[in-house]
Structure 1
Amino acid sequence: MKVKNAFTLGLVGTLGVGLGVVILLAIGNLATVLTYIGIAVFLALGLDPIVSWLERHHFRRPVAILVVVIGVAGIITGLVFAVLPIIIDQLTQLFAQIPHLASLLQSSSWASNLTDSLGGFIDVQAVVDAVTKYLQDPGNITTIAGGALAVGVGIANGIFGTVIVVILTLFFTANLALMKRSVYLLVPASKRERFADLGEQVTEAVGRYVIGQVTLALCNGVLSFVFLSIIQAPYAAVLAFIAGMLSLIPLVGTISGSVIIVAVCLIPGVGSPLTALVAAIYYLVYMQVEAYLLSPNIMKRAVSVPGSVVVIAALAGGSLLGVLGALVAIPIAASIMLIVKQVVIPIQNER
């Protein structure tokens, strides 16, 4: 349709731009809801391979879903009742150490000793003086208090979001097959079979990736707890929990948890330089074992992505969507590579 009137053309163009802006604003306002949905779909795809395995062993799908849900709920409940009391007890002990740590900060002997231990590369006393000066500023105290309030609100929102994600995950797990069939029906009949085959491969790869990443996190958490208990590191349960949770993040998760654990072991009155050194050596060895033994064997059936693509995908996903983006970036990259390999390249070869 040709628009000859300049006013009509401008009006139609303005309405189009306005509609686009409204849609973008709506997506921005729904970002939290879309994030919840994305996490739930991601988790549902992770549970689907287990449901499919039970179906292949003569379980009807509703029964298989019920078994998986009860199993996951049982595991989470067991971990909560087994680990949570220990974590709460050790956090209480950690908070009780704060006055003692504050008194240590006011003395200069430990700072000079730590400076000497570090070979003089870092003036610990200067760092302590700068932190103390910052905390003595009333304006900074107000900022810290506001930040603490924001943290409390964030924790409350996190609990609410977790409940929503759990409910959505159960719904998507129960209806995943129907949802996939509905999407397949939107594709023309001549291409539907091919599209469905690719869709099943993609969802299966994502599901196996989720299971693999959770398995790696459990390995790190359990082994960390055993190791830290053996060397009598401070707050072993808390540190092992942190290590396991951070291991869910690709690439940087394990090393971030290791740095935190070693730093806690260095705190005067809590750990010791020897404990920190032993922990550092252990995590250096563990990261090599994870990279060359655990990860290849656990992930060999999940996703097949070159190392350079993994790094680029994780960095891009983290920049766009934070932790969630880093989690989903690798399976998305694997899905794109699968589509390119099975669709784009064959089309180009036929030309």
Structure 2
Amino acid sequence: MTGEPGDGPTPNDPTWAAAQVHPGVRAAAAWTWRLLIIAAGLYALGKLFLYAEEVFVPVAIAILLSALLSPLVAWLQRHRVPRSAGVLSAVVLTFAIIAAGLTFVVQQLIVGVPRMSGDVAASIAKARRWLETGRLHLDSDSLRNVSNDMITWLKEHEASIATGALDTATVATKLVTAALLTIFLLIFFLYDGHRIWDFVTKIVPSAHRVHVRGAGDAGYRTLQSYVRATVLVAFIDAVFIGIGLAILRVPMVMPLMALIFLGAFIPIVGSVAAGSLAVLVALATHGWFTAVLVVVVLIVVMQVEGHVLQPFLLGRSVKLHPVAVILVIAIGLMVAGIVGGLLAVPVLAFANTAITYRPAEGADQDEFVEEPVDLPGEETS
């Protein structure tokens, strides 16, 4: 049966089967296979990152550091300092500050841990007395059994603990190698980053090359704003929380400040983790009242950060919804651990700006192609 003209496709028509499917189902199917392909691509990129993380992690850290230091290099160049000298000065100064800070923190730990051990022992004894004489009325035998179980566990796992200690040299070697690679890449990113970006984008078809370069430039500027603001916010958090800890006489203030500073680079999650450690130290050394006061200090500083510092310093260009931040950090932690959590939000900020990039109306495309792109390197004028 062929049907009359205008009655629609017939079973013999190739489009007949598609016409029987509801348009909503067709749209859902189209979205589904596209999302599956995107998810598979992201999964493959994550696996590739893990497979060669000893290379990709230094590259990512070098890009973040170049975003932080490129304004300094540009400022030195504007003041007639040769670019090569400006790059070397910025890199040497940065790593000298990092090395000095790490050395000071390690010294504080060496001095502070033995001093704190007595306070911790006294707190444990006090907790044990409370468990024995408090409402729980635990007897000494029960507490002794718990201690024996802990000692037994340590003896059973002493082989793995020793293996981990032996692996320290291997980890140190990898860290030194990664640091040297990061320094090498950072120097070239700062000195010749725009030419590297131009060369990389030559794989893009010429019809889309201008747009990709502009999107990369916009994303890198967002990355610059994000890194500078994050460093400043982390510094302010560490200083004011450190002042609060010093007033409350919590031990090891400088190491805790260093951890709070580093934790601020992983938004929300890192700050909570570093702050929790400060609370535990206060609880172990001075009791619950001081620990509660440390919690109050943390809440006040975090509120000022979330409602004043971040909106003022980051602005709308880097504004990300907290749900998106939490989800991308969780994915980063699952894929690459602490490094993934550290890099997740900068990658999201860069991608958010690059994907939504639109060139300015009336811009001369030919002139734009000749303009060097600031990724990652000197800023365009």
Bin for the TM-score computed over the shorter chain: 0.7 to 0.9
Query: Which residue of structure 2 lines up, in the alignment, with residue 335 of structure 1?
Result: 350
Shift of 1:258: 0.9
Partner amino acid, structure 2, of 1:33: V
Query: Which residue of structure 2 lines up, in the alignment, with residue 72 of structure 1?
Result: 94
Q: Summarize the Cα distance change of 1:167–1:311 in structure 2 as closer, same or farther, 3 Å threshold.
A: same
Q: Secondary structure at the match of 2:286?
A: coil
- Equivalences, count: 312
Query: Which residue of structure 2 lines up, in the alignment, with residue 275 of structure 1?
Result: 290
Shift of 1:262: 0.7
Give, in whole Å, the separation in 1 of the partners of 2:212 and 2:186: 25
Q: Summarize the Cα distance change of 1:144–1:180 in structure 2 as closer, same or farther, 3 Å threshold.
A: same
Identity of aligned pairs, percent? 22
Give, in whole Å, the separation in 1 of the partners of 2:328 and 2:260: 23
Instruction: Tell me which of 332, 336, 360 is aligned to 1:321.
Output: 336
Shift of 1:168: 2.6
Give, in whole Å, the separation in 1 of the partners of 2:279 and 2:143: 19
8 A Cα contact 2:222 2:353, kept in partner: no
Query: Which residue of structure 2 lines up, in the alignment, with residue 241 of structure 1?
Result: 258
8 A Cα contact 1:314 1:330, kept in partner: yes
Residues 1-351 of structure 1: pairs in structure 2 closer than 5 A: 29-55=51-77, 60-76=82-98, 79=101, 83-84=104-105, 87-95=106-114, 97-98=116-117, 101=120, 105=124, 107=125, 109-113=126-130, 129-130=145-146, 132-137=148-153, 138-151=155-168, 153-267=170-284, 270-300=285-315, 303-342=318-357
Q: Summarize the Cα distance change of 1:51–1:97 in structure 2 as closer, same or farther, 3 Å threshold.
A: closer
Name which of structure 1's ranges 161-170 and 215-224 shifts more when overlaid on structure 2.
Answer: 161-170
Give, in whole Å, the separation in 2 of the partners of 1:161 and 1:285: 37
Deviations 1:58-91 (A, max 9, x none): 655334424422442453355456x34xx51443
Name which of structure 1's ranges 90-99 and 211-220 shifts more when overlaid on structure 2.
Answer: 90-99
8 A Cα contact 2:222 2:318, kept in partner: yes
Partner amino acid, structure 2, of 1:165: T
Q: Secondary structure at the match of 1:338?
A: helix
Shift of 1:284: 1.3
8 A Cα contact 2:265 2:342, kept in partner: yes
Partner amino acid, structure 1, of 2:258: F
8 A Cα contact 2:215 2:355, kept in partner: no
Give, in whole Å, the separation in 1 of the partners of 2:54 and 2:139: 43
Q: Summarize the Cα distance change of 1:126–1:237 in structure 2 as closer, same or farther, 3 Å threshold.
A: farther
Q: TM-score, normalised by structure 2?
A: 0.69
Give, in whole Å, the separation in 1 of the partners of 2:235 and 2:188: 25
8 A Cα contact 1:314 1:325, kept in partner: yes
Q: Which runs of 4+ in 1 moved over 6 A?
A: 24-27, 114-117, 122-128
Shift of 1:159: 4.1
Shift of 1:229: 1.7
Give 5+ residue unaligned stretches, structure 1.
Answer: 1-23, 344-351
Q: Summarize the Cα distance change of 1:129–1:144 in structure 2 as closer, same or farther, 3 Å threshold.
A: farther
Give 5+ residue unaligned stretches, structure 2.
Answer: 1-45, 359-381
Deviations 1:81-103 (A, max 9, x none): 6x34xx51443341355477568
Q: Secondary structure at the match of 1:185?
A: helix
Name which of structure 1's ranges 240-249 and 168-177 shifts more when overlaid on structure 2.
Answer: 168-177
Q: Summarize the Cα distance change of 1:76–1:335 in structure 2 as closer, same or farther, 3 Å threshold.
A: closer
Q: Which structure has the higher relative contact order (CA within 8 Å, separation 6+)?
A: 2
Which structure has the greater CA radius of gyration? 2
Shift of 1:249: 1.5
Q: TM-score, normalised by structure 1?
A: 0.74
8 A Cα contact 1:112 1:124, kept in partner: no
Give, in whole Å, the separation in 1 of the partners of 2:245 and 2:61: 32
Q: Secondary structure at the match of 2:319?
A: coil
8 A Cα contact 1:263 1:276, kept in partner: yes
Shift of 1:339: 4.0
Shift of 1:234: 1.1
Give, in whole Å, the separation in 2 of the partners of 1:123 and 1:327: 46
Q: Secondary structure at the match of 1:266?
A: helix
Q: Summarize the Cα distance change of 1:132–1:162 in structure 2 as closer, same or farther, 3 Å threshold.
A: farther
Partner amino acid, structure 2, of 1:31: E
Q: Summarize the Cα distance change of 1:301–1:44 in structure 2 as closer, same or farther, 3 Å threshold.
A: farther
Give, in whole Å, the separation in 2 of the partners of 1:174 and 1:312: 35
RMSD between superposed Cα atoms in Å: 3.6
